[in-house]
Each structure stands twice: as C-alpha cells, then as structure tokens.
Amino acid sequence: MASWEYPTHKTFPIVPPLNEVEPSDRPGILDAREQKIREDWIKVMELRLIRDQLRKCYKTESKVKLKDGNHLMNLNHLKSKIKFNYIQI
C-alpha cells in the first residue's frame, strides 16, 4: 500500500501592487496584474464556499427553525462575511 502525501502548492513571489509599479517596467506590470488576479480569484472562491454553506443551511433548516437564536446568528455571521468580501473585490 503506497503512502499518500498532500500535494505541495505552487507559491508565487509577492510583488508590489499595480499602482506602485513603474509604467515602463513591463514584466513588473504583468507580475502585479497576475498577483491581483490570483488574489481576486481566491476571494471569489471563498465567497462561493460561504454561499454554498448558506444554501445548504437554508435547504436543511426550515424558516421556523431559522428564527431561533443560535442558528440565525451563525447565518448572520456568514452573510456578513459575504458582504465584507464582496465589497473588497
């Protein structure tokens, strides 16, 4: 039986933001643009995960149960995460 190892993810160097890169530095602009795209993609994927969690909650719990205190507080926490992350993108 072969042992399984968790795959290592590719790491990228952290570069200055796009507004801090010299306009004449073409490779720097491309690196900054790619970094911005990666960061935004991660935020979008986080939002999708939170949205899926909310949908699962709404499907499994009825509206009457959602009005109870603890479960509703958890959902409000997820909703605020969505709003905060959506505004940042």
Domain that holds residue 48: 21-88
Residue 16 lies in a domain: no
The pLDDT of residue 72: 52
Domain count, the chain: 1
Residue 3 lies in a domain: no
Residue 32 lies in a domain: yes
- The residue written with tokens 């790491």 in the block is 11
Residue 40 predicted with pLDDT over 70: yes
The pLDDT of residue 25: 94
Task: Quote the pTM value.
Answer: 0.61
The pLDDT of residue 62: 56
Q: Percent of the chain at pLDDT above 70? A: 69
Task: Name the band, by pLDDT with cuts 50, 70 and 90, for residue 3.
Answer: confident
Task: Name the band, by pLDDT with cuts 50, 70 and 90, for residue 23.
Answer: very high
Reduce the DSSP state of residue 67 to 3 states and report it.
Answer: coil
Q: Which residues 6+ apart lie within 8 Å of 44 measured at CB? A: 89
Phi, psi of 75 (to 5 degrees): -65, -40
